[in-house]
Amino acid sequence: MKDIGIVGLPYSGKSTLFSALTRSGVAGGRSNQAVVDVPDPRVAVLADIERSKKVAHAKVRFVDVPGGLTAQGIAEFRQTDALCMVVRAFGDDADPKADLASLEAELVLADLASIESGVEKARKKAKGKDVVKGELETLERAHELLDAERPLRDGEWDDDALKILKGYGPLTLKPWIVVANVEEGNGPPPSLDDAIAISAALEAEVAGMSDEDASELLAGFGVESPGLDRVIAACYRALDLITFLTTGEDETRAWEVRRGATAPEAAGVIHSDLQRGFIRAEVVGYDDLVAAGSWDGAKANGKLRVEGKDYVVKEGDVLHVRFAV
């Protein structure tokens, strides 16, 4: 499960967005964390086809830290997998592009501070020792970039360098998405046209309604899919994740895996035994399965493929893993 930190300037609507996404009231005090299902209509369709007793979705956790980018907040955001940057695009004085730039500057400064102390430590350790030299070089390069007010993602890092940097939980290396908190019914602001436009206030208002009432009200404002769906889809893209499914009489379930993962790696998401004892995967594409009307039907139609250890799992694959431990 991935953790998404909600970052933004004060009063940009972070907590409102958090309540809307997680359908939970916002309590004060410590950080608010909520785990939500990744919306995926395919789960219900497969469960119906295979008459599953249970369904389960992939999950993500949203983290809203009261007080925002304080030392405590920064420490919490360092532990997340991706950042959802919220900028205010409602109100006459809104300047979402400038807000995003100043947010990014804050993240760069936070990374600069932690990398700076890393450089100092590595310098002391490195005296005459080659082992620490590579580490020091990476940190110095990172420092140079941040000092020039650029995010770490602008640098070129090999796997060793990435490993060193990730030890610091750098904020500017995390994948991010930008949410423009807009006036009800508005699209993304012209200055940030690839941001996801969401009216947090409107979405928070519909969060307590039934799905039907919510979509009706949202549709009235020209909003076709709920904020949660759009935010999660964008996070999946930013994190380079795909969804595969499992189905059967017991359960239909959606799982998240890194794009490019092999069948045994995907099996490992389900259970480590399935990866260790992986023999083969039987695979049917979601659309083929729905068209065939059942797993057995897909098999009879020749739509079931038997794949080995090197198979790279695709979005929407339905897997049966054969294993022995």
Ligand X SMILES: Nc1nc2c(ncn2[C@@H]2O[C@H](COP(=O)(O)OP(=O)(O)O)[C@@H](O)[C@H]2O)c(=O)[nH]1
Sites of contact with ligand X (CB under 6 A): 8, 10-16, 90, 181, 199-201
Which CB atom, from 8 or from 226, has the smaller least distance to Mg ion?
Answer: 8
Selection from ligand X, Mg ion, none that 138 binds (CB < 5 to 8 A by kind) is: none
Q: Nearest-CA neighbor of 226 among 245, 207, 201, 246?
A: 207
**8 A C-beta contact, residue 276 and residue 309:** no
Residue 201 binds: one of Mg ion, ligand X, none (C-beta under 5 to 8 A by kind): ligand X
- What length does the chain have? 325
CB of 7 to ligand X, least distance (A): 9
What number of other Cβ atoms are within 10 A of residue 199's Cβ? Answer: 26
When CB distances to Mg ion are compared, the closest residue is 15
Which residues are CB-contacts of 176 (< 8 A; sequence separation ≥ 6)? 82, 83, 84, 85, 238
> In the complex, what is the shortest distance from the CB of residue 15 to ligand X, in angstroms, rounded to a whole number?
3
- Residue 252 CA to its chain's centroid (Å): 22
Q: How far is the CB of 66 from Mg ion (least distance, A)?
A: 6
The radius of gyration computed from the CA coordinates of the chain, to the nearest angstrom, equals 23
Least distance in angstroms from the C-beta of 68 to Mg ion = 7
By a kind-dependent CB cut-off of 5 to 8 A, residue 221 interacts, out of Mg ion, ligand X, none, with none
Nearer to Mg ion, 15 or 246 (CB): 15
Nearer to ligand X, 8 or 155 (CB): 8
Considering the complex, state which of residue 15 and residue 52 has its C-beta at the smaller distance from Mg ion: 15
Least Å distance, CB 182 to ligand X, is 7
Does 252 sit near Mg ion (CB under 5 A)? Answer: no
Binding partner of 189, given ligand X, Mg ion, none, CB within 5-8 angstroms per partner class: none
Nearest of 19, 13, 35 to residue 91 by alpha carbon? 13
Applying the rule CB under 5 A, the residues between 10 and 29 that interact with Mg ion are 14-15
The secondary structure of 21-76 as a DSSP string is HHT-PPPSSS-EEEEEEPP-HHHHHHHHHHT-SEEE--EEEEEE-TTSSSHHHHHH
DSSP 8-class letter at 232: H
Judged by beta carbon distances under 5 to 8 A according to partner kind, the member of ligand X, Mg ion, none in contact with residue 199 is ligand X
The CB-of-131 to ligand X minimum distance in angstroms stands at 44
Which entry of ligand X, Mg ion, none binds 8, CB below 5 to 8 A by partner kind? ligand X
Give the C-alpha separation, 85 to 83, whole Å: 6
Q: How far is CA 213 from the centre of its chain?
A: 27
Residue that has been written with the tokens 């206030």 in this structure: 201
Angle ∠(237,163,125) on CA atoms, nearest 5: 155
| Residue number with CB closer to Mg ion (64 or 317) | 64
By CB under 5 A, residue 52 contacts Mg ion: no
Closest distance to ligand X from the beta carbon of 9 (Å): 7
Q: Which residues bind Mg ion (CB under 5 A)?
A: 14-15
